[in-house]
Amino acid sequence: MTAFNHYVLTMEGISKSFYGVQALENVDFALQRGEIHALVGENGAGKSTLIKVLTGAEHADQGEITLAGEAVFIRSPQHAQAMGISTVYQEISLCTNLTVAENILIGREPMKLGRIDWKAMNNLAAEMLARFNIDIDVTLFLGAYPIAIQQLVAIARALAVPAAKVLILDEPTSSLNACETRQLFQVMRQLKAEGMGIIFITHFLDQVYEVADRITVLRNGRRVGVFATEALPRLKLVAKMIGRTLDEFDDMTQIRLASAKRIPEKTLLAAADLGLTGEIAPFDLELHAGEVLGLAGLLGSGRTEIAYLLFGIAKPDQGTLILAGKKIDKFSPRESIARGITFCPKDRRAEGVLGDLTVRENIVLALQAKRGWFKNLGKPRQYELADNFIKILNIDTSSADQLVKNLSAGNQQKVLLARWLATDPQILILDEPTRGIDVGTKTEIQKLVLELADEGRACIFISSELAEVLRTSHRIAVLRDRKKVAEFRGGVEEQTLMQSMVGSEA
């Protein structure tokens, strides 16, 4: 591993509790100059709390932080930024009604004669984005660009901090495609060569091994250890993260193979030349009861567009959709729910769970809508349903009355699944159901999908992680450039699937 000069940041003996719950217990963390250091662990392991302490959003109950060799007390996020600690969070906090240049240099605008020098600001912003090989019009509103570009703009803004010493990237690639991720990694390596220390938080373990020099593992608020990346095999890393072995992955393969033999030949859902101009080219698709159909493709390939059509969020302008032998004429989410088709969106915060409602209220929401608002579910029945799904899905909550916004990302995802399972659906459409959650919970959700299929339900499973699609799906449809380009049975080689996703020109 590369030899480093000295530590740019140390955190020693950090402890933090909330209302008697120990979130961090005597945690040590050290970041060296010119290092990309991955911070990994399951949701609830303590990663977010450690970063909040480092950025001044929370104050430790005990412990010490040094920056560039000097002991510091970080009063607030603004104070952290002033000292050279910049953070880019997974949930992008930008102003879409301002220009790209304004977002990058807000509060640091170049001035001329007491006024903002717009030309200088636009030129400077363009130069900063050029480090990402991004050539866009920085005078346009940020909202005119897709989420992936907004993420890179957020990173460029973090790098605009004078004398930045530490860059914290919290799930920076969650909205980026493979090409954009490579661009980001090039920038990270360039910053590393310039001596910056980078803390990299991600659930994509492949990316950890691609770019990180060292790995610190947290579990249950404690540091499990710090390891040189090349010295820690992936299976051992996951075992340290979740505190158990990964035999269940092999179990899932056996479950999938066994359940494939029980899938009936009769088609449950059939799309023929179904399409929407400008969104998704006409496609054919079949789904059987008891089957998991995976949709694979790069970001923007058309996976979510297919989900929107099948659930009725979007209305096709060509083709037909037949459910259980009957042609569907009316397309809307409400009609779909009544037919037994449900949809878990990939952006669970914006489109899924309602953070200010309780676990119980979130779980019964779809069932209440299906019944109609004049047929109210009584409180006893609501608690019965909520408590049942809390137990079945192993939702980590103090009670059915806990606010969903106070749950981890993985448990929020389980609540969203519970909401749709409460409606007793025939078909579940799951768009990135494990995005942004820890390895252990991912495994639980993948096993749940296969168990639901074994009960006779049909699932459409969308994921950016090929290994996950391969592990969970009986059949896989491949999307590219908003077209369905291929279909494979489960067990296809990952290389074959990847080649189909990127095309022969790759």
- Give the pLDDT confidence of 351-391 residue by residue, as tens digits: 677 888 899 998 988 888 777 767 788 889 899 989 988 88
Whether residue 367 is contained in a domain is answered as yes
The sign of the torsion formed by the CA atoms of 466, 469, 472, 474 equals negative
Q: Is 219 helix (H, G, I), strand (E, B) or coil?
A: strand
Whether residue 44 is contained in a domain is answered as yes
With bands split at pLDDT 50, 70 and 90, how would you rate the model's confidence at 208? very high
Whether residue 377 is contained in a domain is answered as yes
pLDDT at 199 over 90: yes
**238 and 252, same domain (yes or no):** no
% of residues, the chain, pLDDT over 90 = 38
Residue 383's CB is within 10 A of a number of other CB atoms, namely 16
Q: Is 398 helix (H, G, I), strand (E, B) or coil?
A: coil
| Residue 372: HSE in the Cβ half-sphere, 13 Å Cα cutoff | 2
pLDDT at 437 over 70: no
Q: Is 73 helix (H, G, I), strand (E, B) or coil?
A: coil
**137 and 86, same domain (yes or no):** yes
Whether residue 345 is contained in a domain is answered as no
Whether residue 2 is contained in a domain is answered as no
Closest CA to 268 of 314, 326, 329: 326
* Consecutive H or E run containing 341: strand 341-344
Whether residue 466 is contained in a domain is answered as yes
- Alpha-carbon distances of 1 from 4, 225, 320, rounded to whole Å: 9, 17, 58
**177 and 219, same domain (yes or no):** yes
Whether residue 420 is contained in a domain is answered as no
**pLDDT for residue 8:** 94
* Residue where one domain finishes, among candidates 388, 411, 434: 411
**306 and 172, same domain (yes or no):** no
Whether residue 347 is contained in a domain is answered as no
**333 and 398, same domain (yes or no):** no
* Consecutive H or E run containing 322: strand 318-323
Q: How many domains does the chain have?
A: 3
pLDDT at 4 over 50: no
**391 and 468, same domain (yes or no):** no
Question: What angle, 0 to 180 degrees and rounded to 10, lies between the N-to-C axes of helices 247-260 and 439-454?
Answer: 20
The more confident residue out of 248 and 285 is: 285
pLDDT at 295 over 90: yes
* Residue where one domain finishes, among candidates 216, 242, 268: 242
* CATH classification of the domain holding 153: 3.40.50.300
pLDDT at 257 over 70: no
Q: Is 234 helix (H, G, I), strand (E, B) or coil?
A: helix
Per-residue pLDDT, averaged over 3-24, amounts to 82
Residue 191's CB is within 10 A of a number of other CB atoms, namely 18
**439 and 407, same domain (yes or no):** no
With bands split at pLDDT 50, 70 and 90, how would you rate the model's confidence at 225? very high
Domain that holds residue 438: 247-340+425-502
Q: Is 480 helix (H, G, I), strand (E, B) or coil?
A: strand
The more confident residue out of 346 and 171 is: 171
**312 and 439, same domain (yes or no):** yes
**pLDDT for residue 505:** 45
Helices (H), 347-408: 359-371, 379-392
Q: How far apart are CA 403 and CA 357, in angstroms?
A: 6
**284 and 404, same domain (yes or no):** no
Per-residue pLDDT, averaged over 261-272, amounts to 81
pLDDT at 506 over 50: no
The sign of the torsion formed by the CA atoms of 82, 87, 88, 93 equals negative
Per-residue pLDDT, averaged over 435-440, amounts to 68
**197 and 140, same domain (yes or no):** yes
**pLDDT for residue 3:** 40
**149 and 133, same domain (yes or no):** yes
Cα end-to-end distance, the chain, whole Å: 32
**pLDDT for residue 394:** 79
With bands split at pLDDT 50, 70 and 90, how would you rate the model's confidence at 161? confident
With bands split at pLDDT 50, 70 and 90, how would you rate the model's confidence at 292? very high
**135 and 206, same domain (yes or no):** yes
Closest CA to 213 of 184, 177, 171, 185: 185
pLDDT at 193 over 60: yes
pTM: 0.57
Q: How far apart are CA 242 and CA 235, in angstroms?
A: 11
Q: Is 305 helix (H, G, I), strand (E, B) or coil?
A: helix
* Residue where one domain finishes, among candidates 242, 264, 293: 242
